[in-house]
Amino acid sequence: MTAVMVRHSTYEHETLRPIVFEMMEAMGGKDIRGQGRVLIKPNLLVPATPDQAILTHPAIVRSAAEYVLDRGARPLIADSPAMGSFETLLRKSGIREALRGLDVECRPFEHSVMVDIGSPFGAIAIAEEAVQADAIINLAKLKTHSQMLLTLTVKNLFGCIVGYRKPEWHLRTGVDRQMFARLLVQIARTVKPAFNILDGIMALEGQGPGRGGSPKRLGVLLAGNDPFAVDWTVCRMIGLDADQLPILKAAREMEGLSPHPEIDGPLPEVRGLRLPRMTSLVYGPKFLQGLIRRQLLQRPLCDEQLCQMCGECWTICPAKAIAPGEKPLHFDYDRCIRCYCCLEVCPLGAIRSSESLTGRVVRQAAAFLFPAGGVR
């Protein structure tokens, strides 16, 4: 199917199941054969309840698992959460309960194999379950993302990088947002999910992708064989120029990709979805960039009232930019690469990204005075 299917739905099993089955059939689900190992890869970022709209809803996970079982194949539900135990996540998310009575294996990704994803990254470690599966069903969540604007079907596949290697990649691509986007494009091209379903029934707006975001009912499910086409359709739905989404911009620059899929179903016109402010991570003349980075660039900030010093943020920080145990939380903005992994994992939503008024004024003036200084 080159088209992207759009269907309106709720999480009610009787409504949702036939829609997921219809989508899977349209995407060629009949090719899933008995005894095949099918990886179902939801968004299982952190332990969260369904009403927080951070994770792929358990009802969608169940319907996808039912489809695979219906085809006589073996479903495996797996992901690599940023924090917490996998079992706790399954329980809190409602997935354990939703799967009750189904013969489905669930486990976190643990082992990787080296796969060449192409220049400039070369061979990188990807979860072996993703590499060895006979087919992959990519079950993503429609969410905002403080670093990459939105996390949709392509970005969901970054979860196939196991555990601590994820923040490592943030560090290696540093403040170059487009390089990180390029990495995500190449991972998606390598993992090649045959089926992509995006949960936009309850989306997340504001400062996602973790608890800093706010749930927003959109009531839609999108599906397609090509994750780039699904993500492009979301841009069209929310009235966003595809080039503003770093992943689609990188795909266009690398491959000339500009998907304009046929859309099957009524695409709602969603306006006013609150997106995170995306500012340049590097700007101004070279000799001022260090100062700008320390003092003026958009940065993570902690709400002291909410913070309970749990340590999740400084544990995940790839740049070691958060001083462990220091209250109030201290960020070293010189080291910070603005990946917002800290914001993703904070269990209390205490971290947000923020740009000061001075920073905004200086950034706008720099863009005017030093256009060659580069905006990334």
Residues at the interface with ligand SF4 (CB under 6 A): 300, 302, 307-313, 317, 319, 321-322, 329, 331, 336-342, 346, 348, 350-351
Q: Write down the least CB distance from residue 145 to ligand SF4, Å.
A: 12
Give the CA distances from residue 306 to residues 53, 167, 211, 301, in Å, rounded to whole numbers and listed in that order.
20, 24, 12, 12
Kindly give, in sequence order, each residue whose CB lies less than 8 Å from that of residue 185, ignoring residues fewer than 6 positions away: 154, 247, 250, 251, 254, 255
Q: CB of 82 within 8 A of CB of 166? A: yes
Q: Write down the least CB distance from residue 357 to ligand SF4, Å.
A: 21
Q: Write down the least CB distance from residue 95 to ligand SF4, Å.
A: 23
Longest CA–CA separation in the chain, Å: 64
184 vs 317, which CB is nearer to ligand SF4? 317
Tokens 């989508």 sit on residue? 23
Tokens of 44: 């299982």
The span from the CA of 1 to the CA of 223, in Å, is 10
Residue type, 302: C
The span from the CA of 99 to the CA of 58, in Å, is 8
Q: Write down the least CB distance from residue 204 to ligand SF4, Å.
A: 18
Q: Write down the least CB distance from residue 364 to ligand SF4, Å.
A: 23
